[in-house]
Amino acid sequence: MKARLQRWKWPALALAAACAVAAFLFLLYLRSPKHGLPYHDSFAQGGADEWEAFGGTWAVYDGGMRNDSDERGAKLMTGSPYWKNYLVEADVMLLGEDGDAGLIIRASDEEQGVDSYSGYYAGLRTRDNMLTLGRASHGWLEYRNVSMPESVRAFQWYHLKLLAYGCDIVASATFPLNSGHTTTASMTDKNCLVSGRIGLRSYSAGGFWRNIQARVATENDLRAMLGNTRTQTGSSEQVAGNGITIFGSGSLPSHLNAQVRPAANVEPVSSLRLVSSSQPITATIRGVVSLTAPLYVQDSTGGISVHTSTSPPLKVGDEIQATGTVSPGAFHSTLEDAKVQLLWARTPVQPVAVTASQAATGAFAAMFIEVEGHLRSKEREAENNLALGLEDGQQSFRAVVNAGRGDLLFNKLKPGSLLRLRGVCVVDSEYTHNLTPFVLLLRSTDDIEVVAGPPWWNARHVIAAGFVLLLLLLIGHFIYSRIEQWRLRAILEEREMLAHEMHDTLAQSFAGLGFQLQAIRNRMPEDMPALHKQIELACDLVRHSHEEARRDIMMLRTESFEQMELTRMLEQCAKKMLDGGNVEIAVSQTGDLRPLPLRINDTLFRIGQEALANAVRHATPKRISIMTAYTKDSVQMVIEDDGSGYDAGSEKKGFGVRGMKRRAAAISAAIEIATSPNLGTRVQVTAPLPAGMHLKYWAGKKRKSDS
């Protein structure tokens, strides 16, 4: 064993060293500041799995990434934390008039929150028409603000670039795209952040990004961008020591569009269900947008579907006023041909937590709800939608969401998982197809939360467990068999040693004793017949004992058992006993011959030997039959002679017969001795085989059939 270990130690060490080096190199590769660069988004193909959201409602839309939320500081991050000197650029559009949107570089420690990350941010701000550049360290420090030559407006594309090289950070914004004027802002941060990921960020206004690219930056790139720097107009903001900024001049824009004033005749949404369908009326409602496509609005009394052909760009959380023709439904109303006016942004509606059974009553139709269910199926539908089939208790329902960034999540979702979903509860047959009581329309895949994975005890796992258990049983049995073999071998070795000892001591002594008695007899005078007879008797006893000893030695020897089968052993024994006589010996063997446990083999042989000896000594037979029969779970031995027999009724049970029965009982064998005067004697012993022998039997049968 030790030698074997010694032989393998060097290859094993070499292998371990190679693995360690490979792992180190792989780690080095992953941490390379260039790993993953250049990067180009795959929004046009609908892919965005590599992006991670921190707030906001992000979705792939029209070849770009869109955040429809007004949340301050919503972020979407990707890339490697080890990227160092690089340039990221994208086309950016603001979706609101009072906020900013832009790009993040060298980011780390991102969390949901206004400035909850470490990194550099450059964005376009509508409030003061600035290209702003600064650093976030879970707080905001504005370094540079440069006025854009034209007003920063929502729903216009700007091309934004942000470069980090060493401790120099440069941002530029071009408008109009491609051929427009470029405004540049730069900063040098003495204790700069050296590496980090890239990201998209919007503040108060939603945003739309497309053509996002990142590549390794060189000093030439830095020079080229700084070369674009136009004369910087004086910043309207001053940087405070701890990152607080104040507006130094000008007035704040009005938040409220003068054209849009909340109407006085606003009606609660729930009251529209009472409108008679025979007399269509026009009504005005006011509520918060809970879903933009299709448009659902909710106030404190309920939700409503709004159909409109012309609507201002809306975000989830916007408070709107809509006027249209009421189309009452069984569970909720619809506002047809509605004129929608944006009032202001508000906090998105918080979902009402309900069970699927409650949602199935229709009481929460058109409302934003949170519901849990077990995933039963998932599929991709037309228009890049993902559809999930769910069940909760006795109710089943579906959830539909735009794939957006959800491919990764979709692939990870396992049937049987418990999901928590937030979305608008819709009961229209257009969505339910009359297959489920309701459908949940989700805003984005961020509305899907995996509460728990599928239960472990499914059919696949049970089969696998059964298979493993079976394998373990087989291994256990194999080990047990090996141990039994080792034990048997030890016993046999012990017996072998005992046989050698007996041969060298007891047998030799008997031989010597025989010689001495022979010598005494030869020297004795012939006129002492009585003494001759006694010495002859003693010689016979010694010879008999010698033979017995030889038989015992033969029985004890391993090779006897390993090489000889019971029938052959009995045959040999009989031949020796009859040595030169004219008694016919008939031997037969049936069944599948196989090795017997030593104890059974030994006992049967002893019984057979006794039966043969009785036949030879007392019955004067003409024929002795030795038969063995092997069955699946027992072995049977029969010794039969056609000798004188004896009267079983007057049997004086001698030591031999009692000994045979005692031996048979020791191995739980059944013994039958059938005899009658002049009709011979039949001794039949049937010994059960232990359970382990059955497998050997079947294995033997199999081998036989295979051959």
Partner 1 sequence: MPWCCARKIFAANLVLLAMMGCRSGPPVVAVIPRTTGMSLWEPERAGADAAANAHGMKIYWNAPTREDDVQGQIALVEKIIDEKYAGLVLAPDQSLALMTPVRRAVSKGIPTVVIGSALPLNPGGRLSYIVSDDEQAGQMAAARVGAILNGNGTVAIIGINPDIAGVLERVRSFEATMAAQFPQIHIVEKRMGSFNVPYEQQITEEVLMGHSDLGAVLAVTADATRGAYSALSELHRTGSVKLVGCDQDLLAPLVSGEMDSVIAEDTYEMGHRAVEWIALERQGKTAPAFQKVAPRLVTKENLNSPDIRRILGLVAQ
Q: Which residues bind partner 1 (CB under 8 A)?
A: 5, 9-10, 13, 16, 55, 71-74, 111-116, 138-140, 240-244, 246-252, 254-256, 258, 261-262, 319, 343-347, 350
Angle at 90 between CA 88 and CA 94, to 5 degrees: 130
Q: Least separation, in Å, of the C-beta of 246 and partner 1?
A: 5
- Alpha-carbon distance of 620 to 647, in angstroms, equals 16
CA nearest to 309, candidates 287, 319, 294: 294
Residue 12 or 435: the one with the smaller Cβ distance to partner 1 is 12
Residue 13 or 537: the one with the smaller Cβ distance to partner 1 is 13
Q: Least separation, in Å, of the C-beta of 347 and partner 1?
A: 5
Q: Least separation, in Å, of the C-beta of 328 and partner 1?
A: 29
Provide the 10 A C-beta neighbour count for residue 416: 14
Q: Least separation, in Å, of the C-beta of 273 and partner 1?
A: 27
Residue 70 or 571: the one with the smaller Cβ distance to partner 1 is 70
Q: Least separation, in Å, of the C-beta of 298 and partner 1?
A: 16
Provide the token pair at 576.
């020796």
- Alpha-carbon distance of 260 to 257, in angstroms, equals 5
Q: Least separation, in Å, of the C-beta of 564 and partner 1?
A: 49
- Alpha-carbon distance of 262 to 342, in angstroms, equals 10
Residue 13 or 452: the one with the smaller Cβ distance to partner 1 is 13
Q: Got the DSSP string for 572-595?
A: HHHHHHHTT---EEEEEEEE---P
What 3-state DSSP class applies to 46?
Answer: coil
Residue 264 or 530: the one with the smaller Cβ distance to partner 1 is 264
Residue 191 or 309: the one with the smaller Cβ distance to partner 1 is 191
Residue 72 or 521: the one with the smaller Cβ distance to partner 1 is 72
Residues present in the chain in total: 707
Q: Least separation, in Å, of the C-beta of 250 and partner 1?
A: 7
Alpha helices, DSSP H, located in 377-525: 407-412, 429-432, 459-502, 508-523
Place of tokens 């002049």: 678
- Alpha-carbon distance of 303 to 265, in angstroms, equals 18
Q: How far is CA 269 from CA 248, 333, 345, in A?
A: 44, 8, 19
Q: Contact 197/159 with Cβ under 8 angstroms? A: no
Q: Least separation, in Å, of the C-beta of 121 and partner 1?
A: 12
Max Cα separation, the chain? 159
- Alpha-carbon distance of 38 to 11, in angstroms, equals 40
Q: Least separation, in Å, of the C-beta of 295 and partner 1?
A: 20
Provide the token pair at 358.
């409650």
Fill in the DSSP letter of residue 503. Answer: I
Angle at 44 between CA 40 and CA 45, to 5 degrees: 95
CA nearest to 67, candidates 390, 434, 77: 77
What are 304's strand-pairing partners? 297
- Alpha-carbon distance of 180 to 192, in angstroms, equals 31
Residue 70 or 428: the one with the smaller Cβ distance to partner 1 is 70
Residue 286 or 546: the one with the smaller Cβ distance to partner 1 is 286
What residue type is assigned to position 37 of the chain? L
- Alpha-carbon distance of 557 to 565, in angstroms, equals 13
What residue type is assigned to position 228 of the chain? N
What are 525's strand-pairing partners? none
Residue 234 or 649: the one with the smaller Cβ distance to partner 1 is 234
Task: For residue 30, give every residue at least 6 positions away whose Cβ sits within 8 Å of its Cβ, in sequence order, or none.
Answer: 80, 82
Burial class (CB in 10 A: 0-12, 13-18, 19+), 425: buried
Q: Least separation, in Å, of the C-beta of 262 and partner 1?
A: 7
Q: Least separation, in Å, of the C-beta of 240 and partner 1?
A: 5
Residue 405 or 422: the one with the smaller Cβ distance to partner 1 is 422
Provide the b/e sequence for 182-221 (b: ≥16 CB within 10 Å).
bbbbbbebeeebebbbbbbbbbbbbbbbbbbebeebeeeb
- Alpha-carbon distance of 286 to 262, in angstroms, equals 8
Q: Least separation, in Å, of the C-beta of 300 and partner 1?
A: 13
- Alpha-carbon distance of 371 to 421, in angstroms, equals 5
Residue 137 or 620: the one with the smaller Cβ distance to partner 1 is 137
Q: Least separation, in Å, of the C-beta of 143 and partner 1?
A: 15
Q: Contact 415/400 with Cβ under 8 angstroms? A: no
Alpha helices, DSSP H, located in 31-149: none
Residue 345 or 356: the one with the smaller Cβ distance to partner 1 is 345
Q: Least separation, in Å, of the C-beta of 689 and partner 1?
A: 48
Residue 248 or 466: the one with the smaller Cβ distance to partner 1 is 248
Q: Least separation, in Å, of the C-beta of 343 and partner 1?
A: 7
Task: For residue 509, give every residue at least 6 positions away whose Cβ sits within 8 Å of its Cβ, in sequence order, or none.
Answer: none
Judge if the upstream peptide bond of residue 38 is cis by omega within 30 degrees of 0: yes
Residue 248 or 581: the one with the smaller Cβ distance to partner 1 is 248
Residue 319 or 548: the one with the smaller Cβ distance to partner 1 is 319
Q: Which helix (DSSP H) or strand (DSSP E) does residue 674 occupy?
A: strand 670-675
Residue 5 or 382: the one with the smaller Cβ distance to partner 1 is 5
Q: Got the DSSP string for 55-74?
A: SS-EEEETTEEEE----EEE
